[in-house]
Structure 1
């Protein structure tokens, strides 16, 4: 009888942990918390996660998946896959260079004693400096997965909220579906593996992106009315979520 119980328990745990976890995030872009869009974090039993925006998918219902990443009408602004070692990202801003990039990240987190409740979970405060911004996040030990919104990871639990110190960007979990029976389409899970021929170096892509931003800035300056003086000078990436990069600091060293 004990063997049967242990077998049933084993089978139950196999099913329980073989299902996906889905977290829906509301993304805000200013201090007034005006919703910009909704994004999804999809966590698989293999400890990989996908973070994406795509209005063609509805992950709240098992039978409501529709559209594909190849659909011309799909509205994709964010598409990131995270593994234990790397983050793979689909970049789209440079029109002539829509491509995939492997980005190896190192976070230096400081975990604090301050807590708050998010969606019924006790969450702990943590801070880090990442690519030109200071971030405050809240994570929960109750869901022990190495994942979070956008590129955030490497804390001992699921990250449910993240905001930069200037309140330009905020990610806030609005729904958590544990052990979801929704099957994540292979075109999402295997997209990066199936398109490795499109990979480019991250630093190379950012160089192209910066050149595009500089060109736009020059065009705006050329069309500015004569005599108009801006009260404040802005950097070309000041409005971007990644304002600076670690290799820029390396290049300044003697």
Structure 2
């Protein structure tokens, strides 16, 4: 195993990579409640030291593995609420992860109680450990593997410098090659490539849609999320017959918000 010297690798890569690249991924969430499991198509575009990773919200209803159980879809704030049973609701939003490699900037949108917020982080969030070179092939490209622990989960990624010297879906980045696939070791979160198009004339231009937005830090987002959740729990307690809400855990998030179990 060896740890990646991320900064030096990126400085070298930024001066050598200028082609357009498009990757289509299948993203699966195997949620703790199986009825809420999803499989979604996302697209990654890399061009001119920027990247954009996004879904097509118009196709979002098709993502549910048990979509035959859907009996109601309602627009609530900036979300679509999908009802799959009397006790199971899911929410859909338009995701857009923008990266600027020259500025080491990652910006994305999140939702706090139906209100959209914009969150900024550094690109290099992962402390990867690269496994020895292997002959793993993904869509015909020779790949290596790497692992990293991140906010409550351990991930294994495959990456290839035959495709690009950097880049990846979602927040995944910081390896000396394009991150082609990712899975969490608990199989909760799986990203697999469907198509890779190099040197293409992309129809989707990369833009920083957050340029004039108020961007908050990850810690501010996390703290605000917890505060709003506690407020909602207090409201539920006040209207319940016995005044008890019980214990609530956040279990179905892609990343661990590191919030404690909440009791009232």
TM-score by length of 1: 0.67
Q: Which residue is equivalent to 2:49?
A: 47
The whole-number CA distance in structure 2 between the counterparts of 1:109 and 1:150 is 16
| Structure 2: gaps spanning 5 or more residues | 1-16, 60-77, 81-91, 260-264
The whole-number CA distance in structure 1 between the counterparts of 2:234 and 2:79 is 31
The whole-number CA distance in structure 2 between the counterparts of 1:50 and 1:109 is 22
Q: The residue matched to 1:206 in structure 2 has which SS?
A: helix
Of the three residues 76, 79, 96, the one matched with 2:96 is: 79
Q: Which residue is equivalent to 2:39?
A: 36
Equivalent runs, 1:1-254 vs 2, <5 Å: 19-30=19-30, 35-44=38-47, 46-55=48-57, 76-84=93-101, 85-96=104-115, 98-104=116-122, 105-113=124-132, 114-185=134-205, 188-193=206-211, 195-196=212-213, 198-214=214-230, 235-236=249-250, 238-244=251-257
Tell me: CA distance 1:35–1:204, structure 2 relative to 1, closer, same or farther (3 Å).
closer
Contact 1:145–1:158 at 8 Å: present in 2 too? yes
Please say which of residues 17-26 and 119-128 is displaced more in the overlay: 17-26
Q: CA deviation at 1:172?
A: 0.6
Contact 1:94–1:208 at 8 Å: present in 2 too? no
Tell me: CA distance 1:43–1:76, structure 2 relative to 1, closer, same or farther (3 Å).
farther
State the Cα RMSD in Å: 3.3
Q: CA deviation at 1:89?
A: 1.0
Contact 2:57–2:94 at 8 Å: present in 1 too? no
The whole-number CA distance in structure 2 between the counterparts of 1:137 and 1:223 is 46
Contact 1:100–1:199 at 8 Å: present in 2 too? yes
Tell me: CA distance 1:217–1:128, structure 2 relative to 1, closer, same or farther (3 Å).
farther
Q: Which is greater in Rg? A: 1
Q: CA deviation at 1:183?
A: 3.2
| Structure 1: gaps spanning 5 or more residues | 1-16, 58-71, 249-254
- Structure that is richer in helix per residue: 1
Q: The residue matched to 1:122 in structure 2 has which SS?
A: strand
Tell me: CA distance 1:243–1:221, structure 2 relative to 1, closer, same or farther (3 Å).
farther
Aligned residues: 203
Q: CA deviation at 1:221?
A: 8.7
Q: The residue matched to 2:221 in structure 1 has which SS?
A: helix
Q: CA deviation at 1:181?
A: 1.1
Q: CA deviation at 1:19?
A: 4.8
Contact 1:109–1:127 at 8 Å: present in 2 too? yes
Q: CA deviation at 1:222?
A: 9.4
Contact 2:18–2:49 at 8 Å: present in 1 too? no
The whole-number CA distance in structure 2 between the counterparts of 1:165 and 1:219 is 37
